[in-house]
Structure 1
Amino acid sequence: MNLINDFCLAVGILKGVQVLVVDNDRDSRDLYAFLLEDFSANVITAGSIKEALEILSWFTPNIIVCEIRFLGESIYTLLNTLNAIEADNGKHIPIIVASTSATGTCDQIPDVEFEEYLVKPFDLDEFVSIIVNQVQENVAESFCTELLVAN
């Protein structure tokens, strides 16, 4: 399905989904926020790892979209904080990593676990579809976990 062209069919597809977008490129950050908000997601944006960490002190996203390269900051700081949040609440927060470079980036970060890796510029329909799929998978996993714990 072409979500952007079939916008009328997709309105509200991300209703209730909390998204944190972390990108040092303002244009990318604003584009993702605008697009996801049009599909009814609640989007908070951060322009740095430091800002993202401050936001995570009061906001728990369902999914994170994050640039992988930050001048003078390490994505590992963000990932360590996410691991602590996940340990506290028992719920996995999927990460979609975006980067402006396709060469070597994944190999340079072997310890980073992420659900999807997108090279900018990427197809916006695919981007929205990935987010919808990740959120649905995460909800299903949480539901199954809750059932197992209850029994």
Structure 2
Amino acid sequence: MTVRSIINAKGQDVLTIMPDAPLREAARLLAENRIGAIVVVDGSRRVVGILSERDVVRVVGLDGPERLEDTVDTVMTHKVVTCDGSETVHQVMEKMTAGRFRHIPVVTAGRLVGIISIGDVVKHRVAEMERESHAMREYIMST
């Protein structure tokens, strides 16, 4: 199963924010939309960073709530690991596990086209395992 199949099933809607937006605005968007990360893009929808709820909690916890007035680019992860639609779910799982992150932007021709969360990956992997299990039971019953 590929990333493209997950994006096709869940849709390509991705909440984004510009790097010069206040961190307070990013925190509001994360809370209102009940999401764990927001992709930071430039005017051409090129990924320039990612900001997770963990990033916000870390800086506010260490430096205090005044950090919410800083811009997103002062807190975001600048070196973003991305994937493309042709990658397999297993490849994306390996990237997430190795990098210890829960969200990965999907990029085509340098532009953001979706986002995959660990929840999306697990959901599709479980469905795949159930299909395989069902097929195996069918095979055993027919022999």
Structure-1-length-normalised TM-score: 0.30
Higher-helix-fraction structure: 2
Return the structure number with greater relative CO, CA threshold 8 A, min gap 6.
2
Of the two, which has the highest radius of gyration? 2
When normalised by structure 2's length, the TM-score is 0.31
